[in-house]
């Protein structure tokens, strides 16, 4: 018995085209839903050291973030997802709670800690050391 050669009938052609379009549609749905699956993300570029002096620059980059807060204060984002703010903190231990939220309401929170050493700044303004 010899196998029948494969032949394209209109019904088979419609099934093959439908399966191909279904796979393309499935791929597109996965691509579009990727931001919902991954959620917001950010990385802090500064401060990089555990000890900072004087006015502290807090900067970083974000992906898929609609709102960013540092210690409850809204921080503006550039169109590229970058942010940078300058803050003065008292001498000693400082903990910053950074919260990012995407357009779907998913949140990511990270705590950044550092020690502020204002000795150099105090010397510049003529304040005495204790």
The predicted-structure confidence for 18-37, as pLDDT tens digits, reads as follows: 999 999 999 999 888 887 78
Q: Is residue 61's pLDDT more than 80?
A: yes
For residue 122, the model assigns a pLDDT of 52
For residue 23, the model assigns a pLDDT of 95
Rounded to an integer, what is the distance from CA 54 to the centroid of its chain? 27
Q: Which residues make beta-bridge pairs with 25?
A: none
Query: 112-128: buried (b, 16+ CB within 10 Å) or exposed (e) per residue?
Result: eebebebeeeeeeeeee
Q: Is residue 130's pLDDT more than 60?
A: no
Overall average pLDDT of the 63-76 stretch: 92
For residue 8, the model assigns a pLDDT of 77
For residue 104, the model assigns a pLDDT of 84
Question: In sequence order, which residues have a C-beta less than 8 Å from that of residue 36 and are 6 or more positions away?
Answer: 104, 106
Give residue-wise pLDDT tens across range 79-95: 999 999 998 888 888 88
For residue 4, the model assigns a pLDDT of 76
| Domains of the chain, start order | 39-124 (2.60.40.10)
Do strands 73-74 and 67-70 pair parallel, antiparallel, or not at all (unpaired)?
antiparallel
For residue 68, the model assigns a pLDDT of 93
């Amino acid at each position: 018995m010899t196998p029948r050669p494969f032949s394209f009938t209109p019904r088979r052609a419609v099934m093959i085209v439908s399966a191909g379009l279904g796979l393309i549609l499935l791929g597109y749905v996965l691509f579009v839903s990727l931001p919902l699956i991954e959620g917001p993300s950010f990385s802090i570029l500064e401060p990089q050291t555990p000890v900072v002096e004087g006015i502290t620059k807090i900067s970083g980059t974000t992906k898929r973030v609609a709102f960013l807060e540092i210690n409850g204060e809204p921080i503006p984002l550039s169109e590229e997802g970058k942010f940078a703010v300058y803050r003065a903190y008292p001498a000693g231990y400082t903990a910053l709670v950074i919260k990012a939220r995407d357009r779907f309401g998913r949140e990511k929170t990270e705590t950044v800690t550092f020690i502020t050493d204002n000795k150099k700044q105090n010397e510049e303004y003529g304040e005495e050391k204790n």
